[in-house]
Amino acid sequence: MTPEPVTDPREGLPSASGAYRLLNCPVSHRREQEAVAAFPHLLKEPDADTVTAQGTAGHLAFAEGDTSALTPALAQSVDDAWKTEEEILADWLASLGRGWEVFYTNRDTQRLWIRSRGEKTSSALCDVVYLARNTERGVFQGEAGTLLAPEEIAALVIDLKLGFKAVPEAHVNPQLAVQGVAVAENHHAQNVRVAPLQARLGISYSICDYNAEDLANRRKEWLHVLWKGKNSSTAYAGDWCAYCKAKSVCMTAIGYTMVAAVADPAKVTNEVAVEVFRRRGTIEKVIDAIKDRLKALPDETLNSLGLRHAPTGSTSEVDDIPGLLAALDAIGIPKAQVDSVLQASVTKAKAVAFDHYFGDGSGKKKNAAEKAEKLVEPFLRKTPKAETVREL
């Protein structure tokens, strides 16, 4: 099964959407490119029923003004976003003062490039950009209206968010900072207001204003992060691994998610067990990425690992963990060690969950056990029968 070729609109360069990850692990972009070169399917578009795909459809509807193809809930979110956009725009113009007028609006998501010495270094995908100029501060001369003083331009960048996770406030949002730098560079703006607009599970937004000095500093910091990414070899793991395309091949990410640093299962402390819970979202994404990586392999290679492609349309009942352990074993991590550590972590996590949620003497033991079981369910290993061939 040969994956269809996929083009990369980012042209293999970092983008603003990965700013948080790059700030914490500058080398991750290079790791991503190496992973994509080995496994091109990592660039594939999301399935139509995923939250990501719904977000893409919502962004398109937001730009085009037509929500007829959306689910009722998503259509309501987009409608709320339109109304809030008007509020953000009005507040921005009021903050600029007299003499300012909007002369440019782009509501079709556009990719803007950040350059250094004439070469593209990275890009930012911007949902909504407004530009305004001050008609009272320009100095003109003569009948031809020669402009003697530079035109003063301000920009407003609105970043629509249609996911279900909380969005960082604008003043601590690295993605928005890079978007601001890109807009200032491409539209010659001296000051930029950025506003992340969260439109799911209620409507909310925040703002941050960057003047010319701020923008210069943010640009310098971003280019330094990109430089570190090219000149560093050390990877750093954390929650940012969840959206890294290299997570299925990066030993740092795999070690982080599987708590592999704990050599002796007896040393799985309460703190480690709590960490397993805290990382569960990242763990699930790493597991899924490894399975996707294996799915791209030819049948003969999968057969040698005791795996096979699942029939089209079937739903496999095999737990994620066995497939993950097979993948780890195939790429050099001792299966027995990871298995024992994981199982000890789960056992300990059950006890911690029980104490944490139901340690108040309420006597609700049955409910407590069910609650604990549900919390650790993603980490439970169900060993298949010996004759069973695991399906992916």
Assigned token pair, 326: 């097979």
State which H helix or E strand residue 72 sits in. helix 72-96
Does residue 57 sit within a domain?
yes
* Torsion sign across C-alpha atoms 67, 73, 79, 81: negative
Q: Smallest Cα–Cα separation from 18: which of 124, 171, 121, 114?
A: 124
Q: Which one of 231, 248, 266 terminates a domain? A: 231
Asked if residue 262 is part of any domain, the answer here is: yes
- Tell me phi and psi for residue 113, to 5 degrees: -100, 140
User: Do both 220 and 246 map to the same domain?
Assistant: no
- Same domain assignment for residues 46 and 148: yes
Kindly state whether residue 9 falls inside one of the protein's structural domains.
no
The per-residue pLDDT for 366 is 52
**100 located within any domain:** yes
210 occurs within a structural domain: yes
What's the chain's average pLDDT?
74
CA proximity to 79, closest of 70, 89, 91, 88: 70
Find the domain containing 45 and state its range. Answer: 16-231
Residues 192 and 259 in one domain: no
Residue 118 shares a structural domain with residue 198 = yes
The answer to whether residue 1 sits within a structural domain is: no
* Count of beta carbons in the 10 Å neighbourhood of residue 314: 9
Let me know whether 29 and 159 are in one domain: yes
Task: Kindly state the DSSP code that residue 383 receives in the 8-state scheme.
Answer: P
Is there a domain that residue 5 lies in? no
pLDDT tens, residue by residue, 331-384: 455 555 555 555 555 555 555 544 544 444 444 445 545 554 554 444 443 333
pLDDT category of residue 241 using cuts at 50, 70 and 90: confident
Q: Please identify, among 179, 206, 231, the residue that sits at the C-terminal boundary of a domain.
A: 231
3: in domain: no
286 shares a domain with 174: no
Which of 305, 330, 307 shows the shortest CA–CA distance to 318? 307
What are the pLDDT digits (tens) for 1-25?
A: 444 555 778 898 999 999 999 999 9
Let me know whether 224 and 98 are in one domain: yes
Residue 347 burial (CB count, 10 A): 14
Closest among 200, 208, 199 to 172, alpha carbons compared: 208
**Per-residue model confidence (pLDDT) at position 288:** 65
Are residues 218 and 261 both part of a single domain?
no
Which of 197, 215, 231 represents a domain boundary (last residue)? 231
Distance between start and end Cα atoms, the chain: 14
Closest CA to 168 of 216, 218, 214, 205: 205
User: What is the total count of domains within the chain?
Assistant: 2
What confidence tens digit (pLDDT) does each residue in 20-78 have? 999 999 999 999 888 878 767 666 655 555 667 788 888 899 998 888 888 888 899 89
For residues 179 and 32, state if they share a domain.
yes
d(CA 350, CA 260): 19
The enclosing domain of 155 has a CATH number of 3.90.320
Using an 8 Å Cβ cutoff, are 73 and 58 in contact? no
Of 6, 14, 39, 2, nearest to 250 by C-alpha is 39
- Say if residue 197 is in the same domain as residue 53: yes
- 60 shares a domain with 176: yes
* Whether 205 and 262 share a structural domain: no
In tens, the pLDDT along 121-175 reads 999 999 999 999 987 765 544 454 444 445 789 999 999 998 877 788 999 999 9
